A and B are shown apart, each in its own frame.
Chain A
Amino acid sequence: MRLVKPFEILKNANIVAIWLNGEISAERDFWLKIWNDAKYRLACDGAANRIGKRNDVLKKPDYLCGDFDSVTKAEKEKYFRLVHLPDQDKTDLQKTIEFSNENKKDWNFDEIILLGGLNGRFDHTMSTLSTLVKFKNQNIIAIDGDNLVFCIAEGESEIEIEVGKTTRICGIMPILQRETIVTTNGLRWNLDKTPLEFGTLISSSNELTSNKMILRIFRRSFSQKIQQHQLQHEYDLIVIGGGSGGLSCSKAASDLGARVALIDAVQPTPDGKSWGIGGTCANVGCIPKKLMHHAAIVGRELKHAEKYGWKSSGNSQHNWSTLVEVVNDRIKANNWVYRVQLNEKGIKYYNAFGTIIDRNTVSTQGVDKKKTSNILKAKNIVISTGLRPIYPKIEGAELGITSDDLFSLEKSPGKTLVVGGGYVALECAGLLADLGHDVDLLIRSEPLKNFDKDCVDKVVSNLESHGVNIKWRDEVVKVEKSGENLEKKRVHFKNSDDPIQYDTVIWAMGRKPNISKIGLENVKVSQSAKNGRILADEFDRTSQDGIYAIGDIVFNRNELTPLAIQSGKLLAKRLFDGSKEIVEYEKVATTVFTPLELSTIGLTEHDALRLYGEHDIEIYHSYFTPFEHVISQDSDSKYCYVKLICMRNEPQNILGLHFVGPNAAEIMQGFAVAFRRGITFSDIKSTIAIHPCSAEEFLKLQITKRSGLDPRVAGCCG
């Protein structure tokens, strides 16, 4: 981003001032200050005559430049430093600027100011403008009469102005003989990827409203010329869904010069909860979850504080409302930052639901008070609407809430039932228990199905040690209102005669695609018969030409924010930068943020056995005590565990890494980089450890499952 500060000239004297031959009436008083304060003063040919007449107030020029066809002999005689530039193919001004540039190293100036050059003979005015264009990559400002003019080249520029020193009136004129696409911010009538063209549309009589103006200027290079009447609502890309994938794609596309519209809105939960831009992760997923998970960890550390010598004030109670308030403040601040980014990048944001009408058309239904609707057209459409939690099909399902509601719940959840066996269920159950709530977790079949079973066992046992009461192999058949004020929920189970009363029931039984109203039936976009997600190939193309899908909404993709972000970025590059790069979906590390965290990359033991057979693989494993638990003797240390799976024969390529312990995500991220490159067991063993830390446990692995030896380690060093 180029930074231009035209008003610096009024403070900064590190300039070259060039006085041009021009209309006397256009001279202004403040020229005196600029001229006299300048580091170097150059008079352009005949201008010397004018300056000579005012030598009482004006300092003598340092140089007189030009071909000397206008300056009087008498005036010329006064100068000691004459620079004769006789080239008749260039104007005096051009030659003078070039002369200054030749001396740039010695003179060391920041800007060149032209005093005069815009008033008087029209061909002189055009000549000055032509010179500004010629030197467009330099900071040259022309001041004449009431005008301050400078040239901005293609790209992104931020211009700092002191609006108070101006009349506010400004104009943006395209000066090249081809269509120029301009986006602005900071003007009364901002341009939004508007094509400006001399002879068609220029922006004159505009007004400055801010001390900071941002200009984004591009040549049109990859889509058809737009008729002036179709300026509104026609885009290169429409993105439906402003979550991790949608935001990433929009921003990347816009940075490549595309005209982008982003449509995002949230269908409120049955309880009426809604949120701003950013999708699940930023509002009701990763971000609030991790903040609350950390709040739970802080609580646990507080319990150990006395052992380290801290004077404790007794048992710490947790205030749910305080936590919800600070978490939601962070979320709203995030929403704001996203809005600002969209604005700065010139992405048109519609807070609305989008429905695809045909492969080039999307209609929007606004969620604003007026419920404005629009018809948008684009060459490319991206669907990134993501998923929402599933409610069971039972009586009283609506009495339960989901992760969509949990993180902004006004009242403390109290005695809670969490239903589900995936990471959402286990994470929520864990953090609620750690924050002091009475939690039951109902797991119908297998918890964390796609993770390594040994690791899952430890995570689940750890959950129980934190107070989560797990109900195995059961289901909820009915929920009804109960309690004095009907504020509680009585839950009836399939395999148990006694119903149980809870304050809160949380459904965490999986997520379904958000596609009910986006108009897939109007185009040929195919969905999976298995779970309704959209079918897309490795280039994110759906079965409808021109329509793409990224993120959780796509069938058979890992439902992870970083994948969606990468998909969005690469899709934008393929669409607008001629790239052929696609996302690599294998070898993606992930972490479950249960009270004791689980991180993993590569194959689980089960999958490795299935693929290669017991004979051909080697499994190294070990229990360990993280340093954090050494003094506190936290019972969590019983469950801390690492596992490394590799081929049995040299070179022993690593197939999978698994870690259960504190800070699991931080530990795995670095290994993920190595894993993607391809590493062997000897790569691990030959790396010198950092000590003391938990990550080094991977480097200390010695005991194999095959050996049958006890993987519990005694002592820590050596």
Chain B
Amino acid sequence: MIIIENEEHFNQIFDAKKNEKLILAYFTAKWCGPCQRIAPIVTEFSEQFAEKFEFLKIDLDENEEISDRFNVDCIPTFLVFKKWVTLNFFEIFKFRATFFAGKLSKL
């Protein structure tokens, strides 16, 4: 899981990895209860699906411009990209690990 520091960093990583793998941008914040609860599960997935997905962790407080750009208005939010195309946009409140894993395996 790569922790994104700012928009430049994001663009850099994105351009570098977009042709290799599917990119999963994971928007989170320290003050968000549900985000904290699913954090260990997402870390697990980033390892489980490491071959196919590049997980990018984007903290909202550090990365305001990126969240504005992708219109993130509630968290946790997961954006899956293939090259520059958004394949899927999950806004998950009641996080079901099996559901998420299922979706990822199908991509």
Q: Point out residues on A near B: beta carbons under 8 Å.
A: 163-164, 168, 185-186, 190, 207-214, 328-333, 336, 339-340, 343-344
Within 8 A of A (CB), among B1-39: 29-33
Of B43-51, B65-73, B96-104, the stretch lying at the interface with chain A is B65-73
**B60 CB contact (under 8 Å) in A185, A209, A336:** A336
Bound together, the chains give a CA A340 to CA B85 distance in angstroms of 23
A-contact 0/1 string along B71-89, CB 8 Å cutoff: 1010000000000111111
Could you tell me if B29 and A164 are in contact, using CB atoms closer than 8 angstroms?
no
Most buried by A among B30, B61, B85, B88: B85
- If A209-B69, A209-B70, A339-B64 touch, whether A329 touches B85 (CB-CB below 8 Å) is no
List, in ascending order, chain A residues with CB within 8 A of B31's CB: 328-333, 336
List, in ascending order, chain B residues with CB within 8 A of A213's CB: 71
Bound together, the chains give a CA A330 to CA B61 distance in angstroms of 14
Query: Which residue from chain A places its CB closest to the CB of B64 in the assembled complex?
Result: A339
**A163 CB contact (under 8 Å) in B29, B64, B85:** B85
Query: Which residue from chain A places its CB closest to the CB of B87 in the assembled complex?
Result: A164
Q: Point out residues on B near A: beta carbons under 8 Å.
A: 29-33, 60-61, 64, 68-71, 73, 84-89
List, in ascending order, chain A residues with CB within 8 A of B60's CB: 336
5 interchain residue pairs of minimum CB distance: A332-B31, A329-B31, A163-B86, A210-B71, A340-B73
Bound together, the chains give a CA A207 to CA B70 distance in angstroms of 12
Bound together, the chains give a CA A340 to CA B91 distance in angstroms of 15
Could you tell me if A164 and B88 are in contact, using CB atoms closer than 8 angstroms?
yes
Q: Shortest beta-carbon distance, B56 to chain A, in Å?
A: 15
Bound together, the chains give a CA A340 to CA B70 distance in angstroms of 11
Bound together, the chains give a CA A168 to CA B88 distance in angstroms of 13
A sample of 7 inter-chain contacts (CB < 8 A) reads A163-B87, A208-B86, A210-B71, A329-B32, A332-B31, A332-B61, A339-B68
Bound together, the chains give a CA A118 to CA B60 distance in angstroms of 43
Bound together, the chains give a CA A190 to CA B71 distance in angstroms of 11
Q: Shortest beta-carbon distance, A6 to chain B, in Å?
A: 16
Query: Which residue from chain B places its CB closest to the CB of A166 in the assembled complex?
Result: B85
Could you tell me if B33 and A210 are in contact, using CB atoms closer than 8 angstroms?
no
**A332 CB contact (under 8 Å) in B30, B70, B73, B87:** B30
List, in ascending order, chain A residues with CB within 8 A of B30's CB: 329, 332
Query: Which residue from chain A places its CB closest to the CB of B69 in the assembled complex?
Result: A209
Q: Shortest beta-carbon distance, A43 to chain B, in Å?
A: 35
Bound together, the chains give a CA A210 to CA B87 distance in angstroms of 9
List, in ascending order, chain B residues with CB within 8 A of A343's CB: 68, 71, 73
Bound together, the chains give a CA A214 to CA B68 distance in angstroms of 12
Could you tell me if A214 and B71 are in contact, using CB atoms closer than 8 angstroms?
yes
Could you tell me if B61 and A186 are in contact, using CB atoms closer than 8 angstroms?
no
Could you tell me if A168 and B71 are in contact, using CB atoms closer than 8 angstroms?
no
Could you tell me if B73 and A344 are in contact, using CB atoms closer than 8 angstroms?
yes
Bound together, the chains give a CA A329 to CA B69 distance in angstroms of 24
- If A212-B71, A339-B64, A344-B73 touch, whether A207 touches B32 (CB-CB below 8 Å) is no
Q: Shortest beta-carbon distance, A214 to chain B, in Å?
A: 7
Bound together, the chains give a CA A209 to CA B10 distance in angstroms of 15
List, in ascending order, chain B residues with CB within 8 A of A330's CB: 31
**B71 CB contact (under 8 Å) in A185, A207, A328, A329:** A185
**A210 CB contact (under 8 Å) in B32, B64, B89:** B89
Q: Shortest beta-carbon distance, B28 to chain A, in Å?
A: 12
Could you tell me if A210 and B86 are in contact, using CB atoms closer than 8 angstroms?
yes
Bound together, the chains give a CA A209 to CA B69 distance in angstroms of 8
Query: Which residue from chain A places its CB closest to the CB of B60 in the assembled complex?
Result: A336
List, in ascending order, chain B residues with CB within 8 A of A209's CB: 69-71, 84, 86
Q: Shortest beta-carbon distance, A243 to chain B, in Å?
A: 19
Query: Which residue from chain B places its CB closest to the CB of A328 in the assembled complex?
Result: B31
- If A186-B71, A340-B73 touch, whether A332 touches B29 (CB-CB below 8 Å) is yes
